[in-house]
Structure 1
Amino acid sequence: MTEKNPQELAKKHLARVEAAINLEEPDRVPLSWVGGDIIPAYAGITQHEFCYDYEKAIKAIEKYLKDFTFDWASAGIPGLAGRLFSVAFVEFPDIARFITSITGPMHDVLGDKYYRFPGREIDENCSPQFIGGTFMQPNEYDQLIEDPVGFIAETVLPRVCTNLETPRKTMATWVRYGIETNRFFSALAEIGKVSANLGYPTISTAQSYAPLDIIADFLRGFDTVLLDIYRYPDKVKKAAEALVDPVISHTLSFKKSGAKLAFIPLHLNEYLSPKLYNEFYWPTLKTVILELLKEDIKSYVFFEGYHDAHLETILELPRGWGIAYFEKTDVIKAKEVLKNHTCVMGGLPISLLVSATPQEIDKYVKNLLEKVKPDGGFILSPNIGTAPRETPVENISALINAVEKYG
């Protein structure tokens, strides 16, 4: 990191990422970071400390980013999706974006039933886990459709959070949550300074969601909503449609912080046939993406699992709409289908980083980039964002060196 000052390095990294998003060919294929459990392991702390001790987490992130150079590093305190809470607060845009990610300390304050954190419900070195659940009955679909924000805020959240069960507990909980939020964002600001001093660009990213995933993850439960599609198809469609505006409104609350991208992780996509995907899932997700694009926010969609059966639907979006980040879909195939239309991201199996030798990683990256590098529009990234603690650090170095050689 001595070749240029931090500002010049940040400009170079950002130029690569932006060129790929804009379907151009940068000077080198941009490399998104390998994060997750490897960061606390590299610093010699537990996952519990990484989640709960912000001072130790900041130092761990600084050590990792100093020793391993990526083009795009979205470093932060571990948290899990809190989109339901964001919908509940969507009428207060100055608050909504501050309740998008639920950290370990926030989980403790809320007493929620959605998450498990290390050193609490799970082992101190486990990754935080989202388990979801069923907190809405089928006869309540009409209430959700009529007033999604009110129903979630007033009916669902008290069921989800033990510390929101009574008015008195609720008042104390939100005061404690505000205190914790202030502590959390102070830590994020410090991480931002650390990243900037090491030459990493600021890529402000909003958080969004597929409307049907809100129902599946937070309200009805994953398996139950798949049955609901057959049992109550009209109600499921109307409920997803009712959530479109709250999702968009919440996402737009990030514009104040300069967000130009909106991250959307998909969950149900892999489990739906093309017919069901196109009937129940894609229409509302597509609306969210298009409406955000009108507001100059491109979407950064994580197509979890195998998205092969639905790949062609992405071509229904305008050219240059955003980033298609794939977990299990073959990025070589995806690049062929989406060439000159969509920026493709992914391609690096975490299993490879964990089990391969540095030489095997070098060979893999060389062969992959030969196929996906031409014409630009590609970002190399792990297929999931979390590398386990046992990931050999020499493999991270091998990955970075291979991208420098072949990218």
Structure 2
Amino acid sequence: MKNAKELQQERAQIFHDLADGRVPKRVPVGGNIGIEFCIQYAGLPLAKTQWTLEGVEEAMDKACQITGSDLYPLGPARPPIGYQILGSRTNVMGSKGFIQHPEVSVMEADEYDDFIKNPHEFIMEKALPRMDKELDTDPVTRSIVYAKAVKAHFDYLDRYAQIDEKLIEKYGFYRIPPESAGMALSPLDYIADFLRGFKGIVMDMRRCPEKVAEACEAILPMIVKMGTPPVISKYGQTFMPLHMAPFLRTSDFENIYWPTFSRTIQALADKGQRVFMFCDHDWMRYLDHLYELPENTCIAFEFGDPKVIKEKLGKRHILSGLYPMTYLKTATKQECVDKAKELLDIMAPGGRYYFDFDKSLISIDSANIENYTAVTRYIAENSYYNNAGEPLASDANKGKKFVDTGEIKAFKSKYYQTWEEYKEKHPNISPELEPIIAQKLQMYEEMLFTFF
């Protein structure tokens, strides 16, 4: 039996082979588990534990014991204290202890022109005070509230990071290189999710589609910056959950959503950063579009026909998802394993596949835990390739670039300062200390941008 370090090295090799264009030893296994599930599974009170973190390390450890995942399975935490300090309207803890994202509109339909001038400045000056009630006050109080929220947010995440580090080493999970993870939304999803709301953006695309398209173009530099991590690595990834596309008319997808979405992913790929995108709901209409994204983009699907997805995308991209989490709740253990076999037979050939479910395991009633364990461990133990090390399956378009990013302007905002801009205002910094000061100041600049 392998020890944790040997297992971690084997798992790293599997994921690195995928990134390097080789058929891995076996199919990699995912199976994301939410912090909320961990707390419930350990029998702890959900709301109170998220606030106090009492017992959360033991709860997370217990959850790690039920999975066959190769990736560290525990999802990121959302700090309730930061949302409380801000008076957040977009992240609210419900009566059962789950943090929810209510439908909120913090930008008016007649404010597109102001937004297009500089999206980041518009958000900082107008959207945030509407989004977070405690920021809707005088400048001094706003600064104090924001400082408290930033401190609380990162203190909370640091505590989880310490636990993550222990559990990754204890169980030998794979982790991507340090500081090589990013997260971003497509431009239209960002505007819909955080500014206009679902109803608002759908109405806008009927009434002023050209303004929505302009807004997507205007926010593109900020989105690319959001998705670019401190360290670029071909083994890293930028996570991009995608929401609006399935609810759009095909013409709106092609004219408004796709142009800046595809350029975002291509821009990150051109930097050397791969995107892992989750296609929420049903994207079957758009498979031909997805084909044109940069080669080896990781695409996870919630719904869809695995055979068609494999046929259209399986020789260009790395595919995942599609196993229904609900099946784990309703079917027997053998039926769940048989379903995994069925998906494996369709998706695994050619090597461009890693197993995962269509959703994360969020609540204790999401699935039969024995079924979750049986499926993830079955895949880990029964998905070996007989041609490991060979090139991944490819078609005649191997190496071809379909998306032209065109000119993407550099991100600029008076609320974000690069080291070069800072140095212009402070020319007397000691040359000996400059590299140290530059690194420190830019680190905090990026930290604040990330919090925003």
Question: By the TM > 0.5 criterion, same fold?
Answer: yes
- Map of 2:360 onto structure 1: 385
Q: Could you say if the C-alpha distance between residues 23 and 333 of structure 1 is closer, same or farther in structure 2, counting changes exceeding 3 Å?
A: farther
2:146 counterpart (162, 174, 178)? 174
CA distance in 2, matches of 1:403, 1:50: 33
Matched residues in 2 for 1:288 and 1:56: separation? Answer: 40
Is 1:186 the equivalent of 2:158?
Answer: yes
For residue 304 of structure 1, give the secondary structure of its aligned residue in structure 2.
Answer: strand
> What residue in structure 2 maps to residue 337 of structure 1?
312
**1:88 corresponds to:** none
* Matches for 1:41-52 after TM superposition, within 5 Å: 41-52=40-51
Q: Which moved more, 1:250-259 or 1:38-47?
A: 250-259
How far apart, in 1, do the equivalents of 2:76 and 2:55 lie?
10
Q: CA deviation at 1:170?
A: 1.2
1:149 alignment partner in structure 2: 120
Q: Which position in structure 1 is the counterpart of 2:271?
A: 295
Q: Point out where structure 1 has 5 or more consecutive residues left out of the alignment.
A: 80-102
Alignment match, 1:111: 87
In 2, Cα distance between equivalents of 1:76 and 1:55: 18
Identity of aligned residues (%): 26
Identify the range of structure 1 (140-149 vs 332-341) with the bigger mean alpha-carbon deviation: 332-341
| Counterparts of 1:61 and 1:364, CA distance in 2 | 28
Residue aligning to 1:137: 108
- How many residues are treated as equivalent by the alignment? 376
Residues 195 and 70 of structure 1: CA distance in aligned 2, closer, same or farther (over 3 Å): same
The superposition leaves residues 357-397 of structure 1 with CA deviations (integer Å, 9 ceiling, x where unpaired) of 11111111112211211111111111012343122221122
1:84-95 pair list within 5 angstroms: none
Is residue 28 of structure 1 aligned with residue 26 of structure 2?
A: yes
The residue identity in structure 1 corresponding to 2:121 is G
Amino acid at match of 1:172: I
Which has the larger Rg? 2
TM-score by length of 2: 0.79
Return the match for 1:234 from 206, 210, 224: 210
Question: Residues of 1 paired with 2:326 and 2:243: CA distance?
Answer: 21
SS at match of 1:39: helix
1:65 corresponds in structure 2 to: 64
1:196 is matched with: 169
Q: Secondary structure at the match of 2:355?
A: strand
Change (3 A) 1:311 1:368: same
**Matching residue of 1:210:** 186
Which amino acid in 1 is paired with 2:246?
A: E
2:5 is aligned with what amino acid? Q
User: Is the Cα–Cα contact under 8 Å of residues 22 and 377 in structure 1 kept in the other structure?
Assistant: no
2-side partners of 1:47 and 1:152: how far apart? Answer: 32
Q: Give the C-alpha shift of residue 56 in structure 1.
A: 2.5
Q: CA deviation at 1:318?
A: 2.9
Are positions 1:366 and 2:348 aligned together?
Answer: no
Residue type of the alignment partner of 1:112: S
> For 1:15-69, what per-residue CA distance to the aligned partner results, in whole angstroms no more than 9, with x for missing partners?
2233345554322211102412432222111332453233432221112113423
* Residue of structure 2 in register with 1:8 after alignment: 6
Q: Distance in 2 between matches of 1:332 and 1:210?
A: 27
Structure 1 residues 34 and 317: CA distance shift in structure 2, 3 A: closer
1: CA distance, partners of 2:46 / 2:329: 18
The change in CA–CA distance for 1:219 and 1:194 in structure 2 (over 3 A counts) is same
The counterpart of 1:307, out of the listed 263, 280, 283, is: 283
Deviations 1:100-121 (A, max 9, x none): xxx212111111111222xxx3
Q: Residue 221 of structure 1 aligns to a residue in which SS? A: helix
Bigger shift: 107-116 or 178-187? 178-187
In structure 2, what residue type is equivalent to 1:246? Answer: M
C-alpha distance in 2 between matches for 1:316 and 1:234: 24
Q: Which residue of 2 aligns with 1:398?
A: 374
TM-score where L is the length of structure 1? 0.87
In 1, the alpha carbon distance for the partners of 2:276 and 2:231 equals 15
CA drift at 1:310:
0.6
Alignment of 1:248-259 (within 5 A): 248-255=224-231
Partner deviation per Cα, 1:291-337 (whole Å, 9 max, x = no partner):
111111100111100000011101212322x2011011223321111
1: CA distance between counterparts of 2:295 and 2:82? Answer: 39
Superposed counterparts of 1:277-296, under 5 Å: 277-296=253-272
Q: Deviations over 1:83-116 (max 9, x none)?
A: xxxxxxxxxxxxxxxxxxxx21211111111122
**Cα distance in structure 2, aligned partners of 1:366 and 1:161:** 47
Moved more, 32-41 or 290-299: 32-41
Aligned amino acid, residue 330 of structure 1:
D
**1:17–1:71: 8 Å Cα contact kept in structure 2?**
no
Deviations 1:115-143 (A, max 9, x none): 222xxx3323xx32111311111111000
Q: CA deviation at 1:256?
A: 7.6
2:96 maps to which of 123, 131, 152: 123
**Partner SS state of residue 378, structure 1:** coil
- Which has more helix, going by share of residues? 1
